[in-house]
């Protein structure tokens, strides 16, 4: 994250990305300790009474974000297709008279669309 521009906005991603290391930070932002062995950092964090911060591999995070973007685009495409179908059905049903023959309803809808 580039703190000189804007902080990253994020949320939970579906793809599970595991931390590569853990760190403790001082109030001024400098790291106090980091390690790839979680238990070591957890012990020091507990003694110091400070939170443990997970550190992630950038390549894994980029892959997770790309996967989420693909999921979101797929969802948007499906949503647009459903909205188009609803519009077609709404227009088709609006064209059918109040009294209709259930045996020919499908034919009536197809004729209107």
pLDDT digits (tens, 9 = 90+) for 28-79: 888 888 899 999 999 999 998 888 888 888 888 888 888 888 888 888 888 8
The 10 Å Cβ neighbour count of residue 22 is 21
> Could you give the number of structural domains in the chain?
2
In a domain, 10, yes or no: no
Model pLDDT, residue 37: 93
Q: Which residue has the higher pLDDT, 72 or 13?
A: 72
Residue 69 structure tokens: 């973007």
Q: Could you identify the residue written with the tokens 């209107």?
A: 112
Look at residue 105 in the predicted model and tell me its pLDDT. Answer: 65
Task: Indicate if 65 and 44 belong to the same structural domain.
Answer: no
Q: Which residue has the higher pLDDT, 46 or 94?
A: 46
pTM above 0.85, yes or no: no
The most confident of the ranges 13-17, 49-53, 106-110 is 49-53
76 and 106 in a single domain? The answer is: yes
Give the separation between CA 7 and CA 25, rounded to whole angstroms. 18
Do 71 and 112 fall within a single domain?
yes
Are 106 and 64 found together in one domain?
A: yes
The whole-angstrom distance between residue 59's C-alpha and the CA centroid of its chain comes to 17
What's the confidence (pLDDT) of residue 2? Answer: 43
Question: According to the model, what pLDDT value does residue 7 have?
Answer: 47
- Domain that includes residue 96, residue range: 58-113
What is the token pair recorded at 40? 């070591």
Separation CA 71–CA 79 (nearest Å): 12
| Residues 103 and 66 both lie in one domain | yes
How much is the pLDDT for 74?
86
């Amino acid at each position: 994250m580039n703190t000189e521009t804007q902080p990253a906005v994020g949320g939970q991603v579906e793809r599970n990305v595991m931390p590569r290391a853990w760190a403790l930070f001082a109030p001024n932002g400098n790291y106090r300790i980091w390690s790839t062995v979680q238990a070591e950092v957890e012990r020091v964090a507990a003694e110091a009474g400070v939170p443990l911060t997970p550190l992630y591999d950038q390549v894994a995070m980029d892959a997770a974000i790309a996967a989420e973007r693909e999921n979101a685009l797929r969802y948007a495409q499906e949503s647009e297709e459903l909205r188009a179908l609803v519009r077609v059905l709404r227009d088709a049903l609006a064209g059918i008279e109040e009294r209709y023959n259930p045996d020919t309803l499908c034919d009536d809808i197809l004729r209107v669309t």
